[in-house]
């Protein structure tokens, strides 16, 4: 296992205390109940009363709940299939969980470092960092700084697909990191509302060399790292201010630079928008504009025999002297038409159909919060990006008020967080680690419910990625391949009196992969934990889990099933 770089650890720590730019540079938005950036206020709902945050939620009262802790535990992990193997190790972990909210700032963080001490001489000690942070701070009227970070560990199977880290009986764990930061500005020039957002992001995957082989025992190229810049700006008049309809102009720029073969994604667009109210809570929307999208890369360095040169980890060495080759080049008219329905402050629906990326595009959101204890959110998306850019965008869309759902045995971040805000699931962004860029289309949905001492949530969705690579390069075989992922994540936690409680977690993934990266995959896992408070600071914990996955398309690949158990104690400061 590679050690966490000091730089990335510092970034993860900073993300926990600097608190999201949600610059949807690749969408044509008109607003929803969460008022994502880049949206136009439709003016249908009237004044919010008391002011609202950038994402449309009223600022919460001053609130702070921060819990640093130290945890010591004993873990036993057994591989049931295909081998009969038992591993035992001791664990020491330190972490912090916290939520902070005030009128001008807010955020949440769950950051954890652990070190496992193996009892087997053949197995070395390992350390991990996992965490999630997102938040904002108002630095001047109408000006905010947002930031967030993610650190998670997952298994990368021999098909380059991301599966849960609990399956890592052998040295197969990979670390995924992503951080972002940037400002947002909102102001008025007379009746014209002006908005601007910028986000700079960085994503990195550290993958172990030992498990990066395909079915032909040839190393394959996986995502390494990327840098993202995303910006958007808009100027709009609400309906009924100067004209009976709302009008506006907007533009956006998205650029992602991937280290793998110097791939580059560039998406620039400009558009004019119109909002036509047809009822107090219903409007028809439309947009027309121009977009230019380019994806390009270089080729790999070739040896004397014309074969691509690889590094020790299996990734291709980029030929910096080779010409840049276009993999995707689309420009021209873009448009969409849609509806926007906002009958109350608790319900919002936007849906649109149009033309982007040279074909039909569908996008939309639904947010429904019937009361303070439950919330439903659905989003339909369509964008182009690399693996790092996709993870970074989902991170920027995460809520700023959440409680992390962790696997009680391995401590890893789950597919969704516990929050009544929209955009609270990460699972859809984690798919194949192919280094090639892709067009992603899909849907993500979540429902959260809090009932007294019980809280529950479920998230699910579908993600389809069509990969894009240039002809005449080593990634050309990936061009046009499609990976599809159906995912599900659920949790149920409850207090049992004042001094005890339990937590359960369930996940399932069904992945269909194109190309030579193995057959279809089914992944399933479940865990349960019991907590008992011993004193004001000490809490005992016992947990069990079972995880497994199987390949339905390759009979030569064995199913893997792993069980694990933990007993430990946590001291909270």
Burial class (CB in 10 A: 0-12, 13-18, 19+), 573: exposed
CA distance 170 to 267: 41
Q: Report pLDDT for 2.
A: 41
Share of the chain above pLDDT 90, in %: 55
Q: Which residues pair with 351 in a beta bridge?
A: 339, 364
Q: Report pLDDT for 141.
A: 92
Mean pLDDT, residues 32-48: 35
Asked whether residue 35 carries a pLDDT value surpassing 90, the answer given is: no
Mean pLDDT, residues 89-94: 93
Asked whether residue 315 carries a pLDDT value surpassing 90, the answer given is: no
Q: 504 vs 73, 152, 410, 557, 569, CA distance in Å?
A: 19, 20, 14, 30, 18
Asked whether residue 312 carries a pLDDT value surpassing 60, the answer given is: yes
Q: Report pLDDT for 468.
A: 95
Confidence of residue 208 (pLDDT cuts 50, 70, 90): low
Question: Is the whole model's pTM more than 0.75, yes or no?
Answer: yes
pLDDT tens digits along 325-379: 999 999 999 999 999 999 998 999 999 999 999 999 999 999 999 988 999 999 9
Confidence of residue 220 (pLDDT cuts 50, 70, 90): low
Q: Which of 52-61, 75-84, 481-490 has the lowest mean pLDDT?
A: 52-61
477 or 164: which leads in pLDDT: 477
Q: Report pLDDT for 267.
A: 96
Q: Which residues contact 220 (CB under 8 A, 6 or more apart)?
A: 160, 212, 213, 214, 314, 517
Q: Report pLDDT for 556.
A: 63
Q: Report pLDDT for 553.
A: 61
Confidence of residue 23 (pLDDT cuts 50, 70, 90): very low
Q: Report pLDDT for 219.
A: 57
Asked whether residue 37 carries a pLDDT value surpassing 60, the answer given is: no
Q: For 324, which DSSP code?
A: P
Confidence of residue 159 (pLDDT cuts 50, 70, 90): low
Q: Report pLDDT for 172.
A: 60
Element (H, E) at 7: helix 6-17
CA distance 431 to 397: 18
The full set of domain ranges for the chain reads: 6-572
Asked whether residue 416 carries a pLDDT value surpassing 80, the answer given is: yes
Asked whether residue 26 carries a pLDDT value surpassing 50, the answer given is: no
3-state secondary structure (DSSP) of residue 522 = strand
Q: For 452, which DSSP code?
A: T
Q: For 245, which DSSP code?
A: S
Tokens of 569: 């104690």
CA distance 169 to 87: 8
Q: What is the mean pLDDT of the chain?
A: 83
Confidence of residue 54 (pLDDT cuts 50, 70, 90): very low
Mean pLDDT, residues 98-108: 92
pLDDT tens digits along 534-566: 999 999 999 999 988 877 766 666 778 889 999
Mean pLDDT, residues 77-92: 85
Q: Report pLDDT for 188.
A: 94
The 10 Å Cβ neighbour count of residue 382 is 19
Confidence of residue 271 (pLDDT cuts 50, 70, 90): very high
pLDDT tens digits along 451-484: 888 999 999 999 999 999 999 899 888 899 898 9
Domain 6-572 has CATH 2.40.170: yes
3-state secondary structure (DSSP) of residue 451 = strand
Confidence of residue 57 (pLDDT cuts 50, 70, 90): very low
Asked whether residue 17 carries a pLDDT value surpassing 70, the answer given is: no
Q: Which long-range contacts (CB under 8 A, 24 or more apart) does 266-269 make?
A: 266/292, 266/293, 266/294, 266/295, 267/25, 267/26, 267/291, 267/292, 267/293, 267/384, 268/292, 268/293, 269/334
Asked whether residue 145 carries a pLDDT value surpassing 60, the answer given is: yes
Confidence of residue 487 (pLDDT cuts 50, 70, 90): very high
Q: Which of 245-259, 264-278, 280-294, 478-492 has the lowest mean pLDDT?
A: 478-492
Q: For 517, which DSSP code?
A: S
Asked whether residue 5 carries a pLDDT value surpassing 50, the answer given is: no
Q: Which of 55-59, 229-233, 365-369 has the lowest mean pLDDT?
A: 55-59
Q: Which of 101-105, 188-192, 304-308, 555-559 has the lowest mean pLDDT?
A: 555-559
Q: Report pLDDT for 278.
A: 94
CA distance 220 to 29: 38
Tokens of 379: 């989003």
Q: Which residues contact 139 (CB under 8 A, 6 or more apart)?
A: 145, 183
Q: Report pLDDT for 545.
A: 93
Asked whether residue 25 carries a pLDDT value surpassing 50, the answer given is: no
Asked whether residue 196 carries a pLDDT value surpassing 80, the answer given is: yes
Number of H helices, E strands in the chain: 2, 25
Q: Report pLDDT for 310.
A: 85
Q: For 256, which DSSP code?
A: E
Phi–psi pair at 563, nearest 5 degrees: -115, 155
Q: Report pLDDT for 338.
A: 96
CA distance 80 to 560: 7
Q: Report pLDDT for 429.
A: 83
Tokens of 472: 């005449």
CA distance 229 to 177: 17
């Amino acid at each position: 296992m590679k050690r966490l770089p000091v730089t990335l650890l510092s970034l993860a720590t900073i993300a926990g205390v600097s608190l999201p730019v949600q610059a949807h540079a690749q969408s044509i938005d008109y607003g929803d109940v969460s008022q994502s950036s880049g949206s136009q206020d439709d003016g249908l709902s009237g004044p919010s009363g008391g002011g609202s945050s950038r994402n449309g939620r009223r600022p919460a009262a001053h609130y702070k709940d921060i819990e640093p802790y130290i945890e010591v535990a004993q873990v036993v992990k057994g591989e049931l299939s295909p081998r009969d193997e038992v591993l035992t190790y001791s664990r020491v972990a330190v972490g912090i969980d916290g939520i902070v909210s005030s009128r001008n700032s807010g955020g949440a963080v769950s950051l954890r470092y652990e070190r496992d001490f193996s009892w087997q001489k053949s197995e070395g000690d390992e350390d991990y960092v996992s965490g999630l942070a997102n938040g904002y701070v108002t630095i001047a009227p109408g000006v905010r700084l947002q930031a967030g970070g993610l650190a998670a560990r997952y298994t990368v199977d021999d098909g380059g697909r991301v599966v849960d880290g609990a399956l890592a009986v052998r040295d197969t764990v990979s670390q995924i990191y992503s951080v972002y930061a940037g400002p947002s500005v909102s102001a008025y020039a007379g009746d014209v509302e002006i908005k601007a957002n910028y986000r700079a992001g960085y994503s990195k995957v550290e993958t172990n060399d030992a498990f990066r082989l395909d079915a032909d025992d040839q190393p394959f190229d996986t995502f390494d790292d990327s840098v993202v810049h995303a910006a958007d700006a808009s100027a709009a008049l609400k309906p009924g201010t100067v004209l009976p309809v709302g009008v506006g102009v907007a533009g956006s720029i998205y650029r992602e630079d991937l280290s793998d073969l110097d791939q580059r994604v560039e998406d620039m667009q400009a558009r004019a928008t119109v909002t036509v109210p047809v009822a107090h809570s219903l409007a028809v929307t439309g947009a027309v504009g121009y977009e230019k999208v380019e994806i390009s890369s270089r080729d790999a360095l070739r040896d004397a025999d014309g074969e691509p040169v690889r590094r020790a980890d299996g990734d291709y060495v980029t030929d910096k002297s080779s010409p840049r080759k276009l993999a995707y080049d689309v420009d021209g008219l873009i448009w969409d038409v849609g509806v926007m329905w906002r009958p109350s402050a608790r319900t919002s629906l936007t849906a649109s159909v149009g033309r982007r990326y040279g074909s039909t595009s569908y996008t939309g959101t639904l947010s429904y919060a019937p009361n303070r204890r439950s919330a439903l959110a659905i989003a339909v998306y369509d964008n182009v990006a690399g693996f790092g850019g996709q993870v970074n965008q989902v991170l920027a869309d995460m809520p700023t008020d959440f409680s992390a759902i962790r696997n009680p045995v391995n401590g890893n971040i789950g597919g969704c967080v516990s929050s009544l805000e929209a955009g609270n699931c990460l699972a859809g962004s984690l798919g194949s680690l192919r280094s090639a860029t892709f067009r992603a289309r899909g849907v993500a949905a979540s429902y959260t419910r809090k009932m007294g001492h019980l809280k529950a949530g479920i998230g699910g969705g579908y993600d389809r990625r069509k990969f894009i690579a240039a002809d005449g390069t080593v990634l050309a075989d990936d061009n046009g391949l499609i990976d599809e992922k159906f995912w599900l994540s659920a949790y149920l936690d409850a207090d049992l009196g004042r001094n005890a409680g339990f937590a359960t977690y369930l996940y399932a993934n069904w992945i269909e992969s194109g190309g030579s990266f193995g057959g279809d995959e089914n992944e399933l896992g479940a865990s349960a934990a019991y907590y008992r408070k011993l004193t004001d600071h000490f809490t005992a914990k016992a947990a069990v889990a079972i995880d497994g996955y199987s390949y339905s398309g390759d009979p030569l690949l064995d199913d893997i099933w792993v069980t694990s158990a933990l007993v430990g104690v946590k001291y909270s400061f």
